[in-house]
Amino acid sequence: MNPKSVRLFLLISFEYLRRNKILFAAGISSIIILAILLIKFSFLFSSNTLRIGIIGTYQEHDLPEEVTNLLSTTLIKVGENNKILPNLVSGWETNNDATSFKFKLKDNIRWADGTILKSSDLELIIPNTVVSFPDDKLIQFDLKESYSPLPSLLNKPVFKKGTLIGIGPYKIKTIEKSRIFITKISLEADDQKLPVISIRFYPNEKIATTGFNLGEVQVLLGITSPKNIPVNSQIIVKKKTDFSKLVTILFQTTDPLLRNRSLRQALAYQTPKINGEEIADNPYPPSSWAYNSDSKKYLSNAKEAGEALERAKSSIAEDKLGSEIILTATPNLEEVGNTVAGSWKKLGFDAKLRIETGIPQNFQALLITQSIPVDPDQYFLWHATQTKTNLTKYDSKRVDKDLEDGRKMIAEDERKIKYFDFQKTLLEDAPAVFLYFPKYNIVYLKKVEPLLNKILSL
C-alpha cells in the first residue's frame, strides 16, 4: 500500500470517528462495563476455581471450621461411635487419676511452609491446665483435677504458633479485609488435583443468598433456610445432619409451675416430633458409645402426657393447670416454637411464644440450639455447680455424682455405666426436652459438584 493510500485511509477513518463519536464512545463504555461485570462476578475464573460463600463476620484468629479444616488437621480424630483416635499423634498415655497426659507426635510431619512440626510450635490453651514440651515430639498436659476426656479437646486444627500456617492440604494465598473483618480469602493447594478456593464472607443469610443468586459464589455453606434460593435443575440443596448440635427445650426448674417433675414430663410427652428432622430422644447422638437406647422416650405421646398431667394435679392447684407458659425461642426457631406452643395448648395451658435474640436471663421454657461435646462428659451443662451454663438450674445429687465420676474414670466400660445412669436420671427428671439434631444446608450449582465433592471428602 503506497503512502497516499495510507493517508487517505486515515483521513476517512478520522472523519468517520468524528461524525460518530457518540456511538463510538458508547461502544467503548459498553466494553469497559462488561469487563468490570465479568471480573466482579468472577465469570473469568478458571474452571478449577471453586467460589464459596460463608455467613458470619470473622477475623484471622477466629476463622470458621469450614476454613480451618482446609488449612490444617487435628492431633486426634473422632472415629466410629465417637471414639477418640490418634491423628497427628501416634498415641498418648495418662496416669492413674487422669491428671497428667503425654502425647507423642508422629515422625516427619511438615507444616505448609515445609518445616518439620515440633511440639513447641503448637499453642495449646486449656483452662486450668499446664502445657509443656519435654522434647520436640512430646506434649504434656498437667491438670489440677482429674479429667479423662482431655484427648477429646484436641479435635481442632493446629497452626504454627502466631500464624495461620497449618499442615494442609491448603494454604492461604490472599486475604482481603474491611477494617478488622475478613471479606474474602483465597486458598491454594500443592496438589494440582484440588481446586483453587475463593471464599467470600457475608454478614447475614439475606445478603449471602443475594450474592449466590447474582453469581458471586457457586456454593453457600451452612445456611439455615434455603427458601429464597430459586428451585431449578441447576441448583442443588444438600442437607447434612449436624450431630455436634442439639435443638432443645430447657425448662426453668426453679419456676413455681415447672419445678413439678410430672408437669415437665407431661409437656415433654406432648411436645411433637418435628417433621423432616433427625429426632433426638437423648442428650447424646445415637452414634455415641455412651448412648443408652433403653432410656426414657418422650415426644408425640398424648396418652402418656395425659397420665403425667394427672399425676401433676396431686401437687398443683387446679387453677394453676391453665396457667400461662411462655416459651422463648431464638428467631431462627420461631416456626418450631409455634408448633410446640400449639401442642402444649392441647393440655389446657395458655402457651405463648416469645422471640428473643441471644440467651435471656429469665425464662420459663427456652427453645435453643446447644453445642454438645464429642465426649459424653456434659458436666458443664447439667452439674448443679455450673451456674453459668446449667441454664435450667437443674440440681440432682445423683446426676452430679455420675458426672463427677465419669470424668475421673479412664476405662470406657466403667465410664459407660456412669453415663447410662446419668441418662436414666436426667430423662426421668425431664429438665429439658431433646427435639432434634439440626440440618446443615449446602446450596450449590450442579456444575461444580465434582469440585465440591473433592473438598467435602477431605
What value does the CA radius of gyration of the chain take, rounded to a whole number of Å?
29
Q: Are 356 and 216 part of one and the same domain?
A: no
Longest dimension (CA), the chain: 115
Residue 20 in this model has a pLDDT that exceeds 90 = no
Identify the weakest region by mean pLDDT among 29-33, 63-67, 110-114: 29-33
pLDDT confidence of 166, banded at 50, 70, 90? very high
Same domain, 432 and 451: no
Instruction: Taking residues 99-122, report their average pLDDT.
Output: 96
3-state helix, strand, coil in the chain (%, to 5): 35, 25, 40
Residue 127 within any structural domain of the chain:
yes
63-87: per-residue pLDDT in tens?
Answer: 999 999 999 999 999 999 999 999 9
| Encoded amino acid at 377, one letter | D
Regarding whether 349 and 412 lie in a shared domain, the answer is: yes
Domain-embedded: residue 426: yes
CA distance linking residue 205 with residue 208, whole number of Å: 5
Domain harbouring 139, CATH code: 3.90.76.10
Are 370 and 261 contained in the same domain? yes
CA distances in angstroms from 155 to 64, 92, 101, 209, 424, listed in the order given: 14, 14, 15, 31, 28
120 with 213, same domain: the answer is no
Question: Is the pTM higher than 0.95?
Answer: no
Dist. CA 105–CA 163, nearest whole Å? 20
Sign, CA torsion 364/365/370/375:
positive
Mean of per-residue pLDDT scores for the chain: 90
Polymer length in residues for the chain:
458
Residues 346 and 285 in one domain: yes
Q: Based on the domain organization, do 419 and 285 belong to the same domain?
A: yes
Mean per-residue pLDDT for 380-384? 97
Predicted confidence band at 456 (pLDDT cuts at 50, 70, 90)? Answer: confident
- Among 154, 188, 207, give the residue marking a domain's end: 154
- pLDDT at residue 32, as a whole number: 55
- pLDDT tier at 9, thresholds 50, 70, 90: low
388-446 confidence digits (pLDDT tens): 999 999 999 999 999 999 999 999 999 999 999 999 999 999 999 999 999 989 999 99
Residue 15 has pLDDT above 80, yes or no: no
| Average confidence (pLDDT) over 267-290 | 95
**Is the same domain home to 236 and 279?**
no
Mean pLDDT of 49-60: 94
Is the pLDDT at 357 greater than 90? The verdict is no
Q: Could you give the dihedral angle defined by the CA atoms of residues 295, 298, 301 and 302, in that order, rounded to the nearest 10 degrees?
A: 130
Name which of 8-17, 66-75, 255-264, 330-339 the model is least confident about.
Answer: 8-17
Instruction: Identify the CATH number of the domain in which residue 179 sits.
Output: 3.40.190.10
| Residue 63 domain-assigned (yes or no) | no
Together in a domain, 265 and 314: yes
Where does the pLDDT of residue 18 fall: very low under 50, low under 70, confident under 90, or very high at 90 and above? low
Average pLDDT over residues 359-387: 95
- Residue 187's domain comprises 49-56+171-240+440-456
* Total domains, the chain: 3
Under DSSP, the state recorded for 147 is -
